[in-house]
Structure 1
Amino acid sequence: MKNILIIGGTSGIGKALTEKLSATHKLYVTSRNLLTSNNPSVTYLKYDVASGDFPAAALPAHLDGVVYCPGTINLRPFKGIKPETFEQDLQVNFIGLVKTLQQVLPLLQAAPNASVVAFSTVAVKMGMPFHTSVAGAKGAIEGFARAFAAEFAPKIRMNVIAPSLTDTPLADKFLNSDVKREKSAERHPLKKVGTPEEIASAAAYLLSEDSSWISGQIFHIDGGMSSLLTSV
């Protein structure tokens, strides 16, 4: 049974991953509000990546995996985005990841082989209007992940999943009607919106020994958006 730390594991993709792994792993799941669990395999910890102190004392002697789920979706024209918004997006998406990994690095190094999974967005590769803030913050994650994976190979692997719009609470304002959902689905070659469970399955794979020869990669799980052109 592996020890897995899931940052932001009580909503969306993080929640789906917690549910997927709880039967086979010991999970330490953080959220901004302290929760309780009836599952002995799941320990909830209070942690706000923007301002809170990391609960390192509550973690085990080693971690086999870390998944960083917090994110933002601020889609606005560039001229209307204040610098503070860029800073906030960078803080939640990237700086929080850096701070977390610095705190748990000794625990990852204490494991025989460890895996780190973070999340980007299809907009980093595609170049989409109104995505300057989130794409900038998520782009930092992709560059960081490759450098981190190189520095700590072969002891620690790190990979990134870059989804398109996924049906999570964070994306609710973009999918909160049948019309919006249908338009979003039509933008993708596979004509559907992604689910948290689909993205969680990919994260579970990257945490497992089945992916032991994979590191420094960006996985585009986006309904074909970043690579397929189905009409000309």
Structure 2
Amino acid sequence: MGRVLIYGGTGGIGAATARALRARDYPLHLVARDAARLDALAAELGDTTVTAGDVGDEALFARAAEAAGGELSGLVYAVGTINLKPLGRLKAEEIEADFRINALGAFLAVQAAAPALKAGAGEGTSGVVLFSTVAVAQGFTAHASVAMAKGAVEGLALTLAAELAPGIRVNAVAPSLTRTNLARSLTANETVANGIAGMHAIARLGVPEDAGALAAFLVSDDAGWITGQVIGVDGGRSRVRTKG
């Protein structure tokens, strides 16, 4: 069993995915900016190696892929941004930054790791999981930048699912609002958080373990016949309405 390479490994969803994969006995290689947090999480999880770096540095991807080893069972790109501004306040450089972190980063991560993912597939498959958002499928105000960037991620996932078949499966997970540090600007105010929670058929916000459990499943052999899918972990937000 090869390692699973996780970008954003110390973030809320990245760390939850790491814990879920270790529960399945996968060895890991985690990538994140904060070396101290990486080392602490690796010590907690066991059988985990790390690379510290920023996904804005294109050299990071080759370095992380090499450090993770020549055979990978999977890759998870759990990196994202939340930049919510109306059309009139968005600047081109902000949109470019969101695209670079979310979409270009995902592309570079898979490109660098593809040989190891092919080697790790053996006679079966390896699994790649990218992260989108419910905002791609739904029209939310002030979400232009993140929806554009994550829409590109969904297009990338479908393209790579075709191009890298049959040995590498590629899927995307599309969460709704989840209680992570990245989303604290939206979830810290409980009145606002409860209002958003009430818009979901399952009337709560997500927790990292919701998305992490699905990501770990999609990496695993249990999902061996699943590829080219965008799967919502969203309390029904993308498909179900209980009011009006």
TM-score (norm 2): 0.92
- Preserved contact between residue 3 and residue 68 of structure 2 (Cα < 8 Å): no
CA-CA distance at 1:20 after TM superposition: 2.0
- Residue type matched to 1:46 in 2? A
Give the Cα separation in 1 of the matches to 2:26 and 2:103.
Answer: 26
Query: 1:224 matched to which residue of 2?
Result: 236
- Preserved contact between residue 4 and residue 27 of structure 2 (Cα < 8 Å): yes
- Residue type matched to 1:79 in 2? G
Query: 2:190 matched to which residue of 1?
Result: 178
C-alpha offsets along residues 77-106 of structure 1, whole Å, 9 cap, x if unaligned? 011100000000000000011111111111
Query: 2:22 matched to which residue of 1?
Result: 22
Query: 1:89 matched to which residue of 2?
Result: 98
Q: Secondary structure of the residue that 1:128 maps to in structure 2?
A: coil
- Preserved contact between residue 63 and residue 108 of structure 1 (Cα < 8 Å): yes
Query: 2:52 matched to which residue of 1?
Result: 46
- Preserved contact between residue 13 and residue 168 of structure 1 (Cα < 8 Å): yes
Q: Secondary structure of the residue that 2:66 maps to in structure 1?
A: helix
Query: 2:107 matched to which residue of 1?
Result: 98
Query: 2:8 matched to which residue of 1?
Result: 8
Q: How many residues align?
A: 232
With 44-53 and 33-42 compared, the bigger mean Cα shift is at 33-42
- Residue type matched to 1:217 in 2? Q
% identical equivalent positions: 41
- 1:109 and 2:118 are equivalent in the alignment: yes
- Preserved contact between residue 50 and residue 96 of structure 1 (Cα < 8 Å): yes
Q: 2:219 aligns with which of 207, 225, 232?
A: 207
CA-CA distance at 1:52 after TM superposition: 5.2
TM-aligned CA distance change 1:57 to 1:144, over 3 Å: closer
Give the Cα separation in 1 of the matches to 2:188 and 2:208.
Answer: 16
Q: How does 1:127-142 map to 2 (within 5 A)?
A: 127-142=139-154
Q: Secondary structure of the residue that 2:4 maps to in structure 1?
A: strand
Give the Cα separation in 1 of the matches to 2:218 and 2:165.
Answer: 15
- Residue type matched to 1:13 in 2? I
